[in-house]
Amino acid sequence: MAERIAFDTSVLTFLINPDAQSRHTGLSHKKERISGLLRDLRESGNEVLIPSPVLGEILEGATPQASANVMSILKSSRQIEIAGFGELEALEYASLMAEMNSGNRPSDEPKRKMKFDSQILAICSTRQVTKLYVDDDKLEKRARDAGIQVLSLKDIPIPESEKQNKLPLKIVD
């Protein structure tokens, strides 16, 4: 059975541009992990949800041509759905924010970021996303608390075909 998955801004950035920087500075084989993830997604038939706030952040500051290219890439796949923020999402968002404002808000999290992440989580919740790929510790924790399976870049396996195999060398004296 196909799953419904979603990406945060950072992971979608890596899918579009594998050379982008990650908070996991020592992460090995990032390009290979991303390449393997894309291949696995194509083969699995999983539905990929792009929350509209994530898309907005990706397109922020992009040239019109770059924005058109990103949209063309995203719309070229039947597996990808750009998920808007409607009435159901607004109700879920309000519920998430009420919980955060009742004392469950981390003191070091800026309110703007908390609101942005809550919009992503509201979309994921109302669209029955089962897996969220993130590169953000706070969003990762909140998604887990909401019952969504979370994977970060370091959790994406390196495809066997991309691993460097050890050669069976025999040292001769």
pLDDT digits (tens, 9 = 90+) for 136-153: 888 998 899 889 999 988
Structural domain containing residue 49: 4-162
- Single-letter amino acid, residue 62: A
The overall average pLDDT reported for the chain is: 86
pLDDT class for 81, splitting at 50, 70, 90? very high
Distance CA 39, CA 58 (A): 22
pLDDT at 169 over 70: no
What's the pLDDT score for residue 131?
A: 94
Q: Give domain status of residue 171, yes or no.
A: no
Nearest residue to 84 via CA among 116, 56, 114, 123: 123
pLDDT per position as a tens digit, 26-66: 677 778 888 888 888 888 889 999 999 999 999 998 899 99
Q: Give domain status of residue 168, yes or no.
A: no
CATH code of residue 47: 3.40.50.1010
Mean pLDDT over 13-20 rounds to 81
What's the pLDDT score for residue 166?
A: 54
What's the pLDDT score for residue 125?
A: 95
Count up the domains in the chain and report the number: 1
